[in-house]
Structure 1
């Protein structure tokens, strides 16, 4: 390894040689490599993180390229899963990066298996929904691993770190900026993504190098209006919180076989009885299908259906979970 690569970072007084070595020795897990995760994974790769673990359930689409700056038109043409595309591009940036990727839906047990197997130092939020963030929150607090939240919509951003001695995400949800909009309904601009991730990754660096700072702040703002704020949340721990007070970790009990994806008019189906071979047989029976190295794509009653190697299915063109279950029953009995 050529340490000259990080010379300007080492010159920075708050990192130095000791801090750089800590970064090189660190393992970071990123849940979701869409807009947030694709940018944070590139930043971490360039600053010299030792090992990255990436999880994402989706593939690259043309509408992603406006803000998901790690990906290219070729990734779209190849219908490449985001985790695979991220792996390839990050290895081009830094050949010595230790990186592991998973094209998968994340649940508590799967996430827990990764943090235990790899001795993860930090988790970054690259997701787009509250349910997955609560899951990250439960796993992180159970195993005392810090995690850093980030989110964007329109021109607004928010980021906050969570550590074992702070109120958790479940505690502060009532005071988060209230917004039911999604990227697909209200849009988002790329500078908001990069602002959120810049704050998120800076916090990650501080946590990993052991820099002393007040961790219990939520930073948020709107780039279009130029308004930026920061609030402390030290004193808002919920005495009835199931995660950080009672240590019950309710996300471990959630088992969603059908899940509507945020703002996507897409429902994800996870059913152990739907194997890849069964899906391929069904696609061939219907007659019009495409098979890539990563999934099968076919149509049924004008619904676009994508089935991954592990049997996980995305049904595009609807947002009703009961309708998705009906389609699965019609296709697979």
Structure 2
């Protein structure tokens, strides 16, 4: 019930895009998994020809996502979504009606180009329309997509009892309905003028790299220390010092300069460290400690106060279960 409540909280355009993705996957998996069998068994094509037809479809889609994304940016996501669904309607209909290799290759190209158009465009439109609820929208988007992928293989074999053409025409009809629904429901949005050439956008995408960790391994945008206790260590021994090149940075910020962190905190250069840890030896280095239980703050205070005179029962139990209890706050 909560999921349905969340869905109803979105604008009609987003709800349609969720249903659209269910229909896209349902229509796709009604046809594509059975296409090789149709080409080989029903049409008597060789394995090489079957591979060419399927490969052309994959290349036309996965190889042209840059084109689809650029089209959505410059022409508007709505028009690209509608065009993609309309083109796939034609492509799937050709699979149903055509027996010759030229027609089947044309169907493969059309259905692949269609996917290259509407896949990035749908995600662009969803991101723009969802606003602050973008994460929820994409989570539901993938739920609907997975549901469509699960349902259609159950329906496909039943349609194959009638024949491959029945399955392909059903898939084409699904995309035709989606085309009409999106043309009627999706509101048009103003498209801001492009400020750079398409090739410049592609170079920017190719050159976009995450900062590297020491040793050259890429760092994910959120792979940075989580922090719960702040401290300054102006005179920490070498083995306790933290190197700045071991600290992640927030996305969009330059990495911190490498080198030993001498004088971290108010006594140093204005930097601080906050750590989330279960290691009380580490926590003992902190000037202030925050104790969390199930994500809720239960106690906060100086390191000496928390470790030597805790007041909350959870903190008392936590320290009592550790051999660290009773040790000095500072080494």
TM category, shorter: under 0.3
Task: Please report the TM-score for the alignment, with normalisation by the length of structure 2.
Answer: 0.23
Higher helix share: 2
Structure with higher strand content: 1
Which structure has the larger Rg? Answer: 2
